[in-house]
């Protein structure tokens, strides 16, 4: 069974700092990997989707990389802002229907 781990569980940084969130998964036979943002008590907002054949995706200040062979993905956030404060979830889709979610990284950007 696929297991997804996110490190760190929580992160607090001053505004303007660049930061990296980590995601690792145990089974490299994945279909795609997706990073989501979840605000307290809210649903999920998709940030970036990386197909298994891709190595990275970029959107604005966000860059996500995927190293399928080592079972790792990183989400890089440049020039962090207080509005970036949220929980970031990594989800891996294996060859079945199911998304396997990590437990998330809770990010706080201090003004």
Partner 1 sequence: GAVVSQHPSRVICKSGTSVKIECRSLDFQATTMFWYRQFPKQSLMLMATSNEGSKATYEQGVEKDKFLINHASLTLSTLTVTSAHPEDSSFYICSARVWTREETQYFGPGTRLLVL
- Are residues 7 and 22 in contact, defined by beta-carbon separation less than 8 angstroms? yes
From the list 46, 58, 59, 70, which residue makes contact with partner 1 (rule: CB under 8 A)? 46
Q: Output 14 or 41, the one with its CB closest to partner 1.
A: 41
- The yes or no reply on residue 47 touching partner 1 (CB under 8 A) is no
**Per-position b or e across 61-87, b if 16+ CB within 10 A of its CB:** ebbbbbebeebebbbebeebeeebbbb
- The yes or no reply on residue 40 touching partner 1 (CB under 8 A) is no
CB of 16 to partner 1, least distance (A): 29
Residue 73 sits at the vertex; the CA angle it makes with 68 and 76, to the nearest 5 degrees, is 145
- Are residues 50 and 64 in contact, defined by beta-carbon separation less than 8 angstroms? yes
Q: Output 76 or 99, the one with its CB closest to partner 1.
A: 99
From the list 31, 55, 59, 70, which residue makes contact with partner 1 (rule: CB under 8 A)? 31
Binding site for partner 1 (CB under 8 A): 4, 31-32, 36, 41-44, 46, 49, 51, 89, 91, 93, 97-99, 101-104
């Amino acid at each position: 069974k696929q297991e997804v781990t996110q490190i760190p569980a929580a992160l607090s940084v001053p505004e303007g700092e660049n930061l990296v969130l980590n995601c690792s998964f145990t089974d490299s036979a994945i279909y795609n990997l997706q990073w989501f943002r979840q605000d307290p008590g809210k649903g999920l907002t998709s940030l970036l989707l990386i197909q298994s054949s891709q190595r990275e995706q970029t959107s604005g200040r966000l860059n996500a990389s995927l190293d399928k062979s080592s079972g790792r993905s990183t989400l890089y956030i440049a020039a962090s802002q207080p509005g970036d404060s949220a929980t970031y979830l990594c989800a891996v889709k294996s060859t079945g229907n199911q998304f396997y979610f990590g437990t998330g990284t809770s990010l706080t950007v201090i003004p």
